[in-house]
């Protein structure tokens, strides 16, 4: 397209982001007008951090050990006299009871990752959303490590906003993401930006002669789109991925991933490796974190897996395996075989 620019029509500047917005909205059961496009999970959070109407002394509650992308974007609220309170809890993820106790009169937002990337623990979104609703606090969820592998519908819980990277379970290229903000919450926000290509649907596009230059107020969530919305190189392949996920259905993909995860957990059950992630099918995601209890041994196994062509991640000193729709039972068996062979090595050779 770059070599033959006539292949890039003026209309595609509108149609490419529009199609992606609709696909992402379908994925989470939302209206397309309530979804905006980003380049990361952080994008949606920074929009909220800069757009929500803060008052002096307000606070955002986050977990101290949550993934940094869930925490960092909020730090800018200092400039509005608000602050981030980081909570240290002794549990893998906050329960409704813990949250209930920790929400203070100053708390305006609670922001949490849906699935913990270092352990695979999953928060109970509906229960936490209920607590937040009863305290008139916005629950904002970073869905990056869940969406695409687990079903999610914004209609079924009272979350205030959801943000998500596109390059994990949604199989997009790097530098993709999106967010959804409940329309009532969005109504309360200040505009944070104005972009010439953020146009209402009913404006016929003339890229160079749009007429009057004024801040547009009738844009819905797309007012918060990351600039460069016709990001062909990233958004066309990401649209193809999301469309494919929707065609296969997230329920079917979740069942497939669940079976692979179960096979993996069973395969390592009687080894010296300990599964850190939840093993109960009702409380786990598609992330399986295992450890030999010692970082060097984990690093050694990571190396062996790589040599066997198994892509695992070494995260926080532990091994993370994340099977998804492109994996098969054979892939899992191959990983399990390597893990089991490593398990049998004499202790002094491990690592």
Ligand X SMILES: Cc1ncc(COP(=O)(O)O)c(C=O)c1O
Distance CA 332, CA 238 (A): 26
Q: Which of 22, 40, 73 is nearest to 176 (CA)?
A: 40
Q: Which is nearer to ligand X, 89 or 133 (CB)?
A: 89
Q: Taking the complex as a whole, how short is the minimal distance between the CB of residue 227 and ligand X, in angstroms?
A: 16
Question: Is residue 145 at the binding interface for ligand X, with CB under 6 A as the rule?
Answer: yes
Total residues at interface with ligand X (CB under 6 A): 12
Under a CB-based contact definition with an 8 Å cutoff, are residues 256 and 331 in contact? no
Q: Taking the complex as a whole, how short is the minimal distance between the CB of residue 112 and ligand X, in angstroms?
A: 10
Question: Is residue 117 at the binding interface for ligand X, with CB under 6 A as the rule?
Answer: yes
Q: Tell me the three state secondary structure of residue 180.
A: strand
Q: Which is nearer to ligand X, 163 or 239 (CB)?
A: 163
Helices then strands, each counted (H, E), the chain? 10, 11
Rg (alpha carbons) of the chain, rounded to whole number? 22
Residue of 46, 50, 107, 144 interacting with ligand X (CB under 6 A): 144
Q: Taking the complex as a whole, how short is the minimal distance between the CB of residue 206 and ligand X, in angstroms?
A: 34
Q: Taking the complex as a whole, how short is the minimal distance between the CB of residue 343 and ligand X, in angstroms?
A: 28
Q: Which is nearer to ligand X, 165 or 231 (CB)?
A: 165
Q: Which is nearer to ligand X, 40 or 231 (CB)?
A: 40
Q: Which of 313, 30, 17 is nearest to 163 (CA)?
A: 30
Q: Which is nearer to ligand X, 16 or 143 (CB)?
A: 143
Residues numbered 56-115 forming contacts with ligand X, rule: CB under 6 A:
67, 69, 113
**Helix 329-343 vs helix 250-268: crossing angle, to nearest 10:** 20
Q: Taking the complex as a whole, how short is the minimal distance between the CB of residue 45 and ligand X, in angstroms?
A: 8
Q: Which is nearer to ligand X, 235 or 297 (CB)?
A: 235
Q: Taking the complex as a whole, how short is the minimal distance between the CB of residue 55 and ligand X, in angstroms?
A: 27
Tokens of 274: 């300990």
Q: Which is nearer to ligand X, 174 or 196 (CB)?
A: 174
Question: Is residue 234 at the binding interface for ligand X, with CB under 6 A as the rule?
Answer: no
Residues in CB range of 200: below 8 A, 6 or more apart: 216, 218, 219
Q: Taking the complex as a whole, how short is the minimal distance between the CB of residue 212 and ligand X, in angstroms?
A: 35
Question: Is residue 291 at the binding interface for ligand X, with CB under 6 A as the rule?
Answer: no
Contact range with ligand X by CB under 6 A, out of 36-44, 153-161, 316-324, 325-333: 36-44
One DSSP character per residue, 295-349 reads HHHHHHHHHHHHHTT---EEETTEEEE---TT--HHHHHHHHHHHHHHHTS-GGG
Q: Taking the complex as a whole, how short is the minimal distance between the CB of residue 294 and ligand X, in angstroms?
A: 24
Residue of 46, 50, 119, 165 interacting with ligand X (CB under 6 A): 165
Tokens of 37: 């496009």
Residue of 17, 21, 40, 111 interacting with ligand X (CB under 6 A): 40
Q: Which is nearer to ligand X, 14 or 152 (CB)?
A: 152
Residues numbered 174-203 forming contacts with ligand X, rule: CB under 6 A:
177
One DSSP character per residue, 235-298 reads HHHHHHHHHHHHHH-HHHHHHHHHHHHHHHHHHHTTSS-EE-S--STTSB-S-EEEE-SSHHHH
Q: Taking the complex as a whole, how short is the minimal distance between the CB of residue 130 and ligand X, in angstroms?
A: 23
Q: Which is nearer to ligand X, 313 or 350 (CB)?
A: 313
Measure Cα distances from 28 to 164, 181, 243, 299 in Å: 11, 12, 13, 37
* Alpha carbons within 13 A on the beta-carbon side of 90: 0
Residue of 27, 41, 125, 287 interacting with ligand X (CB under 6 A): 41
- Site for ligand X, rule CB under 6 A: 40-42, 67, 69, 113, 117, 142, 144-145, 165, 177
């Amino acid at each position: 397209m770059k070599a033959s620019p006539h292949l890039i029509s003026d209309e595609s500047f509108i149609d490419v982001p529009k199609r992606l917005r609709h696909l992402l909205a379908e994925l989470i059961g939302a209206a397309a007008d309530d979804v905006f496009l980003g380049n990361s999970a952080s994008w949606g959070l920074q929009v909220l951090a800069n757009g929500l109407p803060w008052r002096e002394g307000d606070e955002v509650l986050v977990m101290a050990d949550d993934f940094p992308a869930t925490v960092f974007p909020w730090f800018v609220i200092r400039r509005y006299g608000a602050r981030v309170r980081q909570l240290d809890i002794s549990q893998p993820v906050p329960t409704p009871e813990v949250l209930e106790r920790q929400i203070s009169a100053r708390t305006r937002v609670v922001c949490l990752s849906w699935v913990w990337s270092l352990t695979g623990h999953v928060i109970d979104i509906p229960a936490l959303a209920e607590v937040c609703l009863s305290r008139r606090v916005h629950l904002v969820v970073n869905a990056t490590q869940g969406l695409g592998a687990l079903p999610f519908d914004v209609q079924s819980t009272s979350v205030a906003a959801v943000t998500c990277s596109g390059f994990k379970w949604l199989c997009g290229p790097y530098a993709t993401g999106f967010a959804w903000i409940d329309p009532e919450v969005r109504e309360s926000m200040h505009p944070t930006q104005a972009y010439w290509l953020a146009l209402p649907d009913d404006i016929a596009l003339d890229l160079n002669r749009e007429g009057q230059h004024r801040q547009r107020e009738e844009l819905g969530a797309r007012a918060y789109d990351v600039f460069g919305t016709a990001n062909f190189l990233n958004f066309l392949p990401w649209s193809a991925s999301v469309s494919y996920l929707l065609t296969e259905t997230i329920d079917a993909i979740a069942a497939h991933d669940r079976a692979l995860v179960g096979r993996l957990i069973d395969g390592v059950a009687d080894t010296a490796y300990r599964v850190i992630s939840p093993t109960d099918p009702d409380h786990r995601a598609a992330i399986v974190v295992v450890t030999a209890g010692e970082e060097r041994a984990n690093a050694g196994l990571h190396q062996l897996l790589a040599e066997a062509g198994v892509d695992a991640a070494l995260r926080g000193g532990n091994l993370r395996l994340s099977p998804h729709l492109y994996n098969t039972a054979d892939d899992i068996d191959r990983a399990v075989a390597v893990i089991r062979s490593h398990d049998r090595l004499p202790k002094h050779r491990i690592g």
